[in-house]
């Protein structure tokens, strides 16, 4: 996905924000893509030519997945071949599985903390080390390539295996 993102930059392909036209403020120049846009396109089967009507519904003011038997499948023009889309999904699942040490990892604090410096929600990230993959918590605004943030945060990264036991101990003390 990173290479696709870079190739789109290199070719100066108009991004979704470029196509929206006037009245929409964009933080980057024309033809500069947000990496999440690439991820969203590759994860959406509609771009491969299949749209599901009533895939999501509004229930009690919240958007939730609709029942599968109530969905209607509609063929739409594809901008990604179905084979390419399926290969991208397989690669994404394989990458997530490897990066997380064998399966999707759930981290105690991911998206539950707010950065004390800039207010963004703290998230987990993975790095491959000689001893195996390691998870770190950090502010997503630290990465200057993320276009949803108008600033770059300087909050350091914290190792998940060191931070989670401390927070868990503190939370257990609150309940006693």
Mean pLDDT by 10 residues, the chain (176 residues): 82 83 68 79 85 84 82 89 83 63 58 80 74 77 67 84 85 79
Residue owning tokens 């000689």 = 130
Q: What is the model's pLDDT at position 104?
A: 45
Q: Is the dihedral of CA 163, 138, 122, 106 positive or negative?
A: negative
Q: What is the model's pLDDT at position 75?
A: 93
Contacts of 74 (CB under 8 A, 6+ apart): 50, 51, 52, 53
For β-strands 50-53 and 72-75, DSSP reports them as antiparallel
Alpha helices for 21-150 (secondary structure H) = 35-43, 82-99
- Taking each helix axis as running N to C, give the angle between helix 35-43 and helix 2-11, from 0 to 180 degrees, rounded to the nearest 10: 120
Q: What is the model's pLDDT at position 96?
A: 60
Q: Is the dihedral of CA 57, 59, 63, 65 positive or negative?
A: negative
Q: What is the model's pLDDT at position 142?
A: 80
CA 163 → CA 11, 61, 107, 108, distances in Å? 42, 35, 11, 10
């Amino acid at each position: 996905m990173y290479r696709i993102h870079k190739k789109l930059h290199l070719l100066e392909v108009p991004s979704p924000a470029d196509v929206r036209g006037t009245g929409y403020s964009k933080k980057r120049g024309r033809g500069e893509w947000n990496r999440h846009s690439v991820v969203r396109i590759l994860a959406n089967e509609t771009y491969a030519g299949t749209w599901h009507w009533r895939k999501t519904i509004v229930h009690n003011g919240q958007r939730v997945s609709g029942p599968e038997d109530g969905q209607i499948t509609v063929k739409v023009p594809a901008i990604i071949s179905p084979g390419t889309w399926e290969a991208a999904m397989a690669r994404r699942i394989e990458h997530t599985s490897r990066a997380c040490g064998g399966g999707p990892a759930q981290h105690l604090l991911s998206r539950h903390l707010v950065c004390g410096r800039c207010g963004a929600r703290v998230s987990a990230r993975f790095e491959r080390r000689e001893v195996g993959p390691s998870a770190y918590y950090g502010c997503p605004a630290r990465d200057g390539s993320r276009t949803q943030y108008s600033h770059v945060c300087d909050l350091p990264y914290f190792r998940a295996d060191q931070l989670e036991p401390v927070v868990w101990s503190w939370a257990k003390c609150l309940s006693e």
